């Protein structure tokens, strides 16, 4: 090693628990223009088939300007930008709440992200703490296109740093139907069920109904890394096989979310638009070679004030190792080992 100049380090080591303050606002770096390329890659990386996100003609018939980028693509981009400032030193991504999609992201939109620290709680071991942030994605005009809260466990740099005052944000466990933002102009009265792929409308689903989405996809390293890079999510653990002691690359939880959502087409083809994220847990880690399956449970149904448009609240569960549809937790209340994801969201569906 040659002698390095005495300069401050140029690389970003990320924030540690003691660096956060309640009320702190962080503007995240690297805005991103999304276009038809990201759209095509989404369809190559996931078996996505919801018609509103596949066809301009179908989207226009539903009152939109054109087919938007998948709602989860927008989520991944907004989320990805927060990683270097929020979760670079995170031990775990603990939860989500109050996620709302406020307007469709059309090709050509440039997204950037901003987070506000809304809660802090040091762990009793003194080595780490939980940071609560509300993150928002903005388009180039400054409109909020989506927002969500998440909380992560972050390590301390200096174990002797004093614990901050504990602040726990009040977060809704479930968004009410009135909280959901429905895109201007959306109209499902002329909805084409044949082109959408299934005949089932909101009234055909009953609360408590469990749907096994049947299909499985075996995951490859190249695919999850391409997806995660596409969202400019830079967490080392997803890319560097030498980072974990077991030599495995942990798959970005959002990859599992998108895969499960795409698989849910088979049974929920008409749950077109995701508009609310109530809660989510990454129950177990996912690695290349796992075969992902999915099942959903209908948690609620609701009307909206838009023509033909209803809302359905769904639990989306991703599994591996052939974990049976409908099984979620063991007798101890813990997630079963074959459960990867437990996501609670609202989608819009024709009534």
* Minimum CB distance to a second copy smaller for 70 or for 98: 70
Shortest CB 158 distance to a second copy, Å: 21
Phi-psi region of 322 (alpha: psi -120 to 50; beta: other; left: phi over 0): left
In angstroms, give the least distance from the CB of 122 to a second copy: 27
Residue closer to a second copy (CB basis): 64 or 175? 64
Task: Write out the two tokens for 290.
Answer: 């796992």
Phi-psi domain of 120 (left: phi exceeds 0; alpha: psi -120 through 50; beta: other): beta
Structure tokens belonging to residue 172? 């809704």
For residue 168, the minimal CB distance to a second copy (Å) is 29
Beta-bridge partner residues of 155: 128
Alpha carbons 125 and 132: distance in angstroms, whole number:
18
Q: Cα separation of 299 and 313, whole Å? A: 5
Q: Toward a second copy, which CB reaches closer, 62 or 97?
A: 62
Contacts of 214 (CB under 8 A, 6+ apart): 266, 267, 293
Cβ 118 vs Cβ 133: under 8 Å:
yes
Residues 337 and 250: their CA atoms lie apart, in Å, by 16
Q: How far is the CB of 159 from a second copy (least distance, A)?
A: 23
Q: Which one, of 349, 271, 278, lies nearest residue 310 by Cα?
A: 349
Cβ of residue 282: shortest distance to a second copy, in angstroms?
22
Nearer to a second copy, 15 or 96 (CB): 15
Q: Which is nearer to a second copy, 181 or 229 (CB)?
A: 229
Q: How far is the CB of 172 from a second copy (least distance, A)?
A: 26
Considering the complex, state which of residue 167 and residue 239 has its C-beta at the smaller distance from a second copy.
239
Cβ closest to a second copy, residue 140 vs residue 166? 140
- Minimum CB separation from a second copy for residue 219, in Å? 9
Chain Cα centroid distance, residue 287: 18
- How far is it, in rounded angstroms, from Cα 49 to Cα 266? 9
DSSP3 helix / strand / coil % (the chain, rounded to 5): 20, 30, 50
């Amino acid at each position: 090693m040659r002698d390095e100049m005495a300069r401050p380090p140029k690389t970003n080591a990320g924030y540690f628990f003691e660096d956060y303050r309640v009320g702190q606002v962080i503007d995240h770096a690297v805005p991103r223009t999304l276009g038809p390329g990201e759209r095509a890659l989404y369809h190559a990386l996931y078996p996505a088939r919801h018609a509103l996100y596949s066809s301009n003609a179908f989207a226009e018939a539903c009152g939109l300007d054109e087919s938007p980028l998948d709602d989860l693509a927008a989520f991944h981009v907004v989320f990805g930008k927060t990683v270097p400032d929020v979760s670079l030193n995170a031990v775990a991504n603990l939860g989500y709440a109050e996620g709302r999609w406020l307007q469709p992201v059309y090709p050509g939109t440039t997204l950037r992200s901003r987070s506000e620290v809304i809660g802090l709680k040091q762990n009793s071991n003194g080595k780490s703490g939980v940071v609560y942030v509300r993150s928002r994605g903005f388009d180039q005009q400054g409109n909020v296109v989506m927002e969500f809260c998440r909380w992560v466990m972050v390590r301390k740099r200096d174990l002797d740093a004093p614990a901050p005052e504990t602040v726990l944000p009040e977060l809704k466990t479930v968004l009410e139907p009135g909280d959901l933002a429905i895109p201007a102009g959306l109209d499902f009265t002329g909805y084409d069920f044949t082109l959408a792929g299934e005949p089932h409308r909101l009234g055909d689903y009953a609360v408590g109904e469990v749907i096994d989405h049947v299909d499985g996809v075996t995951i490859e390293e190249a695919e999850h890394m391409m997806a995660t890079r596409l969202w400019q999510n830079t967490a080392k653990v997803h890319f560097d096989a030498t980072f974990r002691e077991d030599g495995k690359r942990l798959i970005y939880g959002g990859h599992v979310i998108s895969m499960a959502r795409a698989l849910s087409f088979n049974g929920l083809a008409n749950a077109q638009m995701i508009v609310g994220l109530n809660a989510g847990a990454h129950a177990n880690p996912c690695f290349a070679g796992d075969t992902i399956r999915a099942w959903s449970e209908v948690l609620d149904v609701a009307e909206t004030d838009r023509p033909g448009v209803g809302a359905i609240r769904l639990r989306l569960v991703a599994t591996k190792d052939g974990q049976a549809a409908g099984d979620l937790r063991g007798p101890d209340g813990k997630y079963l080992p074959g459960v990867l994801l437990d996501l609670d969201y609202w989608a819009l569906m024709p009534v």
